[in-house]
Chains A and B, each alone.
Chain A
Amino acid sequence: MITPQRGTKTSKPRKKFFSRRKYCRFCTDSNLKIEYKAPVTLKDFITDRGKIMPRRITGSCAKHQRELTLAIKRARMIAFLPFVISEG
Chain B
Amino acid sequence: MKRYETIYIVNIDVPGDEVTGLIEDYSAIITERKGVIVKIEKWGQRKLAYKIEKQAKGYYIFVDFMGVGAIVTELERKLKIDDRILKFMTIKTKDKVDLKEIEDEIAAAGKEVKEKEVSSSSDVKTAEEATDKPGEEVTEAKISEEGEDPALSSATEKKEDRSE
Binding site for B on A (CB under 8 A): 15, 18, 20-21, 25, 28-29, 31-32, 36-38, 40-41, 74, 76-83
Query: Does B141 contact A83, Cβ atoms closer than 8 Å?
Result: no
Query: Does A38 contact B137, Cβ atoms closer than 8 Å?
Result: yes
Given A20-B158, A38-B137, does the pair A74, B58 have CB atoms closer than 8 Å? no
Given A37-B137, A77-B89, does the pair A83, B148 have CB atoms closer than 8 Å? no
CB of B92, distance to nearest CB on chain A (Å)? 12
Query: Does B91 contact A74, Cβ atoms closer than 8 Å?
Result: yes
Query: Does A79 contact B48, Cβ atoms closer than 8 Å?
Result: yes
Query: Does A81 contact B49, Cβ atoms closer than 8 Å?
Result: yes
Give the chain A neighbours of B158 by CB distance below 8 A: 20
Query: Does B162 contact A38, Cβ atoms closer than 8 Å?
Result: no
| Chain B: interface residue total (CB-CB under 8 A) | 27
A26 to B141 Cα, complex, angstroms: 12
Query: Interface SS of chain A: helix, strand, loop or mixed?
Result: loop
Query: Does B155 contact A20, Cβ atoms closer than 8 Å?
Result: yes
Given A29-B148, A32-B144, does the pair A78, B7 have CB atoms closer than 8 Å? yes
A80 to B62 Cα, complex, angstroms: 13
Give the chain B neighbours of A18 by CB distance below 8 A: 162
Pick the contact of A40: B87, B138, B147 (CB < 8 A): B138
14 new A-B contacts at CB < 8 Å, known A74-B91, A81-B49:
A15-B162, A21-B155, A29-B147, A31-B147, A32-B141, A40-B138, A40-B142, A74-B89, A77-B87, A78-B7, A78-B9, A79-B49, A79-B58, A83-B50
CB of B121, distance to nearest CB on chain A (Å)? 30
